[in-house]
Amino acid sequence: MLVINKKYLIFLFILIFLNIKLNYAGPPFNTDDPETVGFKHWEYYISSINNYQLGVWSGTAPHLELNYGLIPNVQVHLLLPMNYNYARHEGSDFGYADTEFGIKYRFVQETENSPQIGIFPILEIPTIKNSEFSDGKTKIYLPLWIQKSWEKLTTYGGAGYWINPGTNNKNWIFSGWEIQYDFSKTITLGGELYFHSADTKSTKSETGFNLGGSINPTEKFHFIFSLGHTFTKDNTFTSYLGLLWTI
């Protein structure tokens, strides 16, 4: 049995942070976790992701995400995005982007001394002809996620490989780690560090952070949010704002 204690995970987090100084996924963060939706339960998200760089806004307005616990430790995932671009003096574009479909499988259960571990392969599938928000190529994401909790403290992270076909595109890697704390039944706050390598021949690798969490007025309704910025010279601001309903 794989055993990872608290000191080891703290050390691992430090190593990942150092690697970031030398990586769309788990709302409201880029980093995801291996935890699946409960058997026969649903998660519904309606959210907006926004990026701002040098006078240009882009993101989703909004996107709808659905997760369902198909069988114990397995969830199916569907994300339907309406994307936008806006540049000052150039106008805006708005349209449907690629449909995202995935299956998350948790194959190691969390115990007192060991983490839970899972995979979450995702397909981004072109569904309509839209050259502004899709290049017509199916993308594949193959990540591995790990999570461990100690009462009110939870930490998770991992890495994945994107298969990214298309003109001028490159396959790329994402990695990230998140820590969060339940201050009460109503408020959870946390942050992530992430890195992703260049996804095209004309772009560079990017590192950044996001801070955020959730406000939980009831057990079923959650307001989720994050704000962040990149460390690299592209000087990008990021935000996530959404509503989660669980049944």
Q: What is the pLDDT of residues 46-82, one digit of tens each?
A: 999 999 988 899 999 999 999 999 999 999 999 999 9
pLDDT score for 22: 30
pLDDT at 116 over 60: yes
Q: Predicted confidence band at 216 (pLDDT cuts at 50, 70, 90)?
A: very high
**Three-class SS state of 10:** helix
DSSP letter string, 110-157? --SSS-EEEE--EEEE--S--TTT--S--EEEEEEEEEEEETTEEEEE
pLDDT score for 21: 33
6-15, 68-77, 99-108, 141-150, range with the lowest pLDDT:
6-15
pLDDT score for 12: 41
Percent of the chain clearing pLDDT 90 (strictly above): 81
The span from the CA of 172 to the CA of 23, in Å, is: 10
Q: Predicted confidence band at 6 (pLDDT cuts at 50, 70, 90)?
A: low
> Which DSSP state fits 37?
P
pLDDT at 154 over 90: yes
Q: Predicted confidence band at 233 (pLDDT cuts at 50, 70, 90)?
A: low
The average pLDDT across 210-235 equals 93
pLDDT at 24 over 70: no
Residue with tokens 């000087």: 235
Q: Note whether 117 and 35 are within 8 A (CB).
A: no
pLDDT score for 169: 95
pLDDT at 7 over 70: no
pLDDT score for 23: 31
pLDDT score for 235: 85
Secondary structure element (H or E) that encloses residue 8, with its range: helix 6-21
Q: pTM to 2 decimals?
A: 0.87
pLDDT at 222 over 90: yes
The number of beta carbons lying within 10 Å of the beta carbon of residue 92 is: 10
Q: Predicted confidence band at 198 (pLDDT cuts at 50, 70, 90)?
A: very high
Largest Cα separation within the chain, whole Å, is 59
The span from the CA of 67 to the CA of 145, in Å, is: 17
The span from the CA of 124 to the CA of 136, in Å, is: 10
Cα Rg of the chain (Å, integer): 18
Please, is 96 exposed, middle or buried when counting C-beta atoms within 10 Å of its C-beta (0-12, 13-18, 19+)? middle
Beta bridge partners of 220: none
pLDDT at 134 over 70: yes
> Which DSSP state fits 202?
T
Is the torsion defined by CA of 37, 38, 42, 47 positive or negative? negative
